[in-house]
């Protein structure tokens, strides 16, 4: 894992002290809320329905055991005993007191963490494939590149006041586990003729105007990547709209001028930027890359796993994926227990996951955009011990990518932007499909719920998506079908008129019943949907 | 009736104007009538409460009931964590929100 150098640490420490002074001036009345709000947001501090909320950055979703324990400590000491892992691979604390915020940031800084780039119109925390460094199908570990982008983007003077927020994702495998093409810029590392580089996609996103990012450049050699991105951001910064917040994202710019025109502008700018020499020297990239080396795995450990415990075997099949080293595995810890709150973990659970990573996982954890936690490097001989410990803590739900593995934003229970509650709906859907065999029979089915059009719950990318709206003060839920955030990215289509909370659960069941009736061998829900089409399911929903 | 509400500056807690100050309990809220905007400006100036604003509510025998679900959730707490609400011992409290 990356470790701070003196520049990183001093920058984060200085930011903490700056914010401490800003908070003191706000509490003493020297600053108005209008003056203070942009300052607190630059430090990840929002004001939500019930309290301040602190969003802590987890760069590219990678966190160490020591850092994870700090998150548990903050949940316990400063919050109400839990944290909420988000669809941006970050963590949020929902009950923060303003006067505590500087101390929390100071504690985070002791473990090389912060809340920078978690709000504001800057380049946000870089996201990445949660299986990075462990996946058998990657051409390279995307995290050194994500870290390079972090260093480039943090406090970038030209890109701190963009027209709107800017999200970048990096993957390095054909299977897209990071919703790469639904980001402002998506990078897919590829190798061409022995040279590492990236496919660059730009102009994707969700929100009120969802778009799948088009390919802007088929191959940017790694040696040119920072220069190319600098050029891509400059063009956006110059031409992105600042007069209308709803039209300010890069997706609108690219949609309006066209991908070809944007590409041509970026190429012109790139020619100028490349001469500036901002791409890192090989030694610096090597220094970063070295910190992401595969940990010293025991390659002599037994490969066989005793599957005689049926519950364990189900969990193995559902939540454990192959590792690039065959006698190891990648474990996903589901934060979607039946009746729970998607993405929430108690301080004790956070500590337990930190302990398991330390004991069995080479000190590493990952946060996924699907609001789960990954232990990326577990020897197969240790899987049963890990499962046993997780089960005792209520963390062994065997539902990865099943209908109960629901992404849900905090919704109207917490969020000041929301129009409807997401979490109670997720719980009702889980209850309706509670039977594990039924879930497994349905197979991969990604259900995603947002409580408002801002789409933090990724409803556009759900095989089945749900959008909560406010209809004359009453919660109402629209159903969307056919979205995907994976390598076959697509946007869901609104099925028709909305439903009450109970009504949308019934409608979802009519959709899954129709799927079971018409699916062919080996088809996932999404495959069947794409084969038979929207109308078949619309008819099932509305008759 | 009209109520004045906001979030306490230091804690972020939801608070309601009582006629003399701020309370965390909706039951203490008073009808601010036509004075809400002026009170909000004055309190904004005093810098004890963040972004105070006026909401519509209905007077009921059990106390004021905010017209919009968002403010009812603010008044009670998250419906999915009754243990963290202002009425943790009342399992039916969540139903009041809906």
Residue reference for tokens 């789409």: A455
Q: State how far residue A99 is from chain B, nearest Cα, in angstroms.
A: 6
Nearest C-alpha in A relative to B76: A50
Find out whether A458 and A491 touch, Cβ atoms under 8 Å: no
Asked if residue A491 lies in contact with residue A481, where contact means CB atoms within 8 angstroms, the answer is no
Residues carrying CATH 3.30.413.10, chain A: 134-289, 407-542
Contact B10 A51 (CB under 8 A): no
Coil, strand or helix at A387: helix
Average pLDDT value for residue range A182-207: 98
Contact A33 B80 (CB under 8 A): no
* Contact call for B80 and A421, based on CB within 8 A: yes
Residue B93 pLDDT class (50, 70, 90 cuts): confident
Q: Residues A279-297: what's their mean pLDDT?
A: 95
Backbone torsion region of residue A365, taken as left when φ is above 0, otherwise alpha when ψ lies between -120 and 50, otherwise beta: beta
Residue A261 has pLDDT above 90, yes or no: yes
Q: Is the pLDDT of residue B98 over 90?
A: no
Query: pTM for the whole thing?
Result: 0.97
pLDDT for B90: 87
Q: Which residue in chain B is spatially nearest to A473 when comparing CA positions?
A: B68
Q: Which two tokens stand for residue A139?
A: 């051409």
d(CA B96, CA A156): 48
3 state DSSP class of A48: coil
CA–CA separation, A180 vs A164, rounded Å? 19
Which CATH number does A407-542 carry?
3.30.413.10
Residue given tokens 């959008």 in the structure block:
A467
Q: Where in chain A is the domain with CATH 3.90.480.20?
A: 6-109
Q: What is the ipTM of this complex?
A: 0.96
In this complex, do A52 and B80 lie within 8 Å of one another by their Cβ atoms? no
Q: Do B50 and A33 touch (CB under 8 A)?
A: yes
Measured in angstroms, the CA of B81 and the nearest CA of chain A are apart by 9
Q: Please state which of the four CATH numbers 3.40.50.720, 3.40.50.300, 3.30.413.10, 3.30.70.141 is assigned to the domain occupying A134-289.
A: 3.30.413.10
Question: What pLDDT score was predicted for residue A374?
Answer: 98
H/E segment holding residue A346: strand A344-346
- C-alpha dist (Å) from residue A132 to A139, A318, A374: 10, 19, 11
Looking at residues A82-93, what average pLDDT do you find?
98
Question: Is A471's Cβ below 8 Å from some Cβ in B?
Answer: no
The minimal CB distance from B73 to the residues A29, A47, A49 is found for: A49
The CATH number given to A6-109 is 3.90.480.20
Q: Locate CATH 3.30.70 in chain A.
A: 310-392
Give the gap in angstroms from C-alpha A470 to the nearest C-alpha of chain B: 10
Listed in sequence order, the residues at least 6 apart from A509 whose beta carbon sits closer than 8 Å to its beta carbon are A432, A433
Q: What is the pLDDT of residue A276?
A: 95
Q: Which of B12, B47, B79 sits opposite A52 (nearest CB)?
A: B12
Tokens encoding A383: 């899987």
Interface test with chain A among B5, B6, B7, by most A beta carbons within 10 Å:
B7
Name the H helices within A54-134. 65-77, 101-109
Residue A327: pLDDT band (50, 70, 90) is very high
DSSP string over A273-286: HHTT--SPPHHHHH
Contact B14/A474, CB-based, under 8 Å? no
Rounded to whole angstroms, the Cα distance separating A401 from A334 reads 10
Query: A449 near A406, Cβ under 8 Å?
Result: yes
Q: Are B68 and B55 in contact (CB under 8 A)?
A: yes
CB-defined contacts A:B, below 8 A = 66
CA dist A492 and A534 (Å) reads: 10
Q: How far A477 CA sits from the closest chain B CA (Å)?
A: 15
Q: Which residues of B touch A48 (CB under 8 A)?
A: 12
pLDDT digits (tens, 9 = 90+) for A359-385: 999 999 999 999 999 999 999 999 999
Q: Do A29 and B51 touch (CB under 8 A)?
A: no
The structure tokens listed for A451 are: 């409580």
In which band, very low, low, confident or very high, does the pLDDT at B47 lie, cut at 50, 70 and 90? confident
What is the average per-residue pLDDT within A91-96? 98
Task: Choose which CATH entry (1.10.3470, 3.40.50, 1.10.287, 3.30.70) describes domain A310-392.
Answer: 3.30.70
Three-state secondary-structure class, residue A177 = coil
Would you state the pLDDT for residue A147? 97
Burial zone of A33 (CB within 10 Å; 0-12 exposed, 13-18 middle, 19+ buried):
middle
pLDDT in tens, A13-30: 999 999 999 999 999 999
The confidence band for A170, taking pLDDT boundaries of 50, 70 and 90, is very high
Cβ neighbours, 10 Å, residue A456? 24
């Amino acid at each position: 894992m990356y470790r701070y150098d003196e520049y990183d640490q001093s920058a984060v420490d200085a930011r903490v002290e700056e914010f401490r002074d800003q908070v003191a001036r706000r509490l003493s009345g020297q600053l108005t809320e209008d003056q203070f709000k942009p300052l607190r947001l630059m430090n990840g501090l929002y004001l939500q329905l019930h309290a301040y909320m602190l969003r802590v950055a987890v760069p590219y979703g990678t966190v160490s055991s020591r850092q994870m324990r700090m998150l548990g400590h903050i949940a316990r000491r400063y919050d109400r005993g839990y944290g909420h892992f988000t669809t941006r691979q970050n963590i949020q604390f929902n009950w923060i007191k303003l006067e505590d915020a500087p101390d929390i940031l100071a504690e985070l800084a002791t473990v090389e963490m912060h809340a920078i780039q978690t709000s504001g119109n800057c380049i946000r925390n870089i996201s990445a494939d949660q299986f990075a460094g462990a996946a058998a199908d990657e051409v390279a570990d995307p995290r050194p590149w994500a870290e390079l982008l972090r260093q480039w983007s943090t406090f970038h003077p030209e890109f701190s006041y963009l027209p709107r927020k800017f999200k970048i994702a990096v993957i390095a495998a054909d299977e897209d586990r990071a919703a790469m093409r639904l980001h402002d810029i998506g990078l897919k590392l590829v190798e061409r003729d022995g040279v590492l580089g990236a496919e660059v996609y730009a102009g994707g996103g969700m929100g009120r105007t969802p778009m799948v990012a088009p390919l802007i450049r088929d191959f940017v050699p790694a040696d040119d990547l920072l220069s190319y991105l600098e050029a891509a951001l400059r063009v956006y910064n110059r031409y992105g709209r600042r007069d209308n917040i709803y039209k300010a994202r890069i997706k609108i710019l690219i949609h309006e001028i066209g991908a070809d025109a944007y590409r041509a502008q970026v190429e012109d700018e790139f020619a100028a930027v490349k001469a500036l020499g901002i791409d890192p020297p090989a030694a610096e990239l090597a220094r970063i890359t070295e910190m992401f080396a595969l940990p010293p795995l025991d390659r002599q450990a037994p490969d066989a796993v005793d599957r005689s415990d049926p519950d364990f075997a189900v969990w193995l099949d559902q939540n454990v994926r192959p590792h690039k080293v065959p006698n190891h595995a990648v474990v996903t810890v589901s934060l979607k227990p039946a009746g729970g709150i998607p993405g929430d973990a108690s301080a004790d659970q956070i500590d337990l996951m930190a302990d398991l990573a330390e004991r069995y996982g080479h000190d590493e954890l990952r946060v996924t955009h699907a609001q789960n936690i990954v232990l990326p490097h577990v020897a197969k001989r240790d899987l049963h011990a890990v499962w046993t410990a997780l089960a005792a803590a209520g963390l062994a739900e065997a539902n990865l990518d099943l209908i109960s593995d629901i992404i849900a934003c905090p919704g109207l229970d917490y969020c000041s932007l929301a129009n409807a509650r997401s979490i109670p709906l997720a719980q009702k859907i889980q209850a309706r499909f509670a039977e594990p065999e039924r879930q497994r029979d349905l197979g991969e089915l990604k259900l995603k719920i947002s409580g408002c059009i801002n789409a933090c719950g990724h409803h556009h990318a759900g095989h089945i998506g749900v959008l909560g709206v406010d209809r004359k003060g009453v919660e109402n839920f629209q159903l969307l079908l056919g979205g995907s955030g994976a390598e076959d990215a697509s946007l869901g289509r609104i099925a028709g008129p909305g439903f009450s909370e109970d009504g949308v659960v019934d409608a979802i069941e009519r959709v899954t019943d129709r799927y079971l009736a018409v699916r062919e061998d080996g088809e996932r829900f999404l495959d069947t949907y794409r084969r038979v089409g929207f109308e078949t399911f619309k008819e099932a929903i509305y008759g | 009736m009209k109520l004045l509400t906001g979030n306490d500056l230091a804690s972020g807690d939801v608070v309601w104007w009582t006629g003399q100050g701020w309370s965390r309990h909706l039951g203490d809220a008073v009808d601010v009538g036509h004075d809400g905007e002026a009170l909000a400006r004055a309190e904004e100036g005093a810098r004890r409460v963040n972004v105070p604003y006026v909401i519509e509510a209905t007077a009921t025998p059990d106390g004021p009931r905010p017209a919009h679900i968002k403010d009812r959730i603010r008044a009670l707490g998250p419906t999915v964590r009754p243990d963290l609400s202002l009425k943790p011992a009342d399992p039916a409290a969540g139903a009041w929100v809906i």
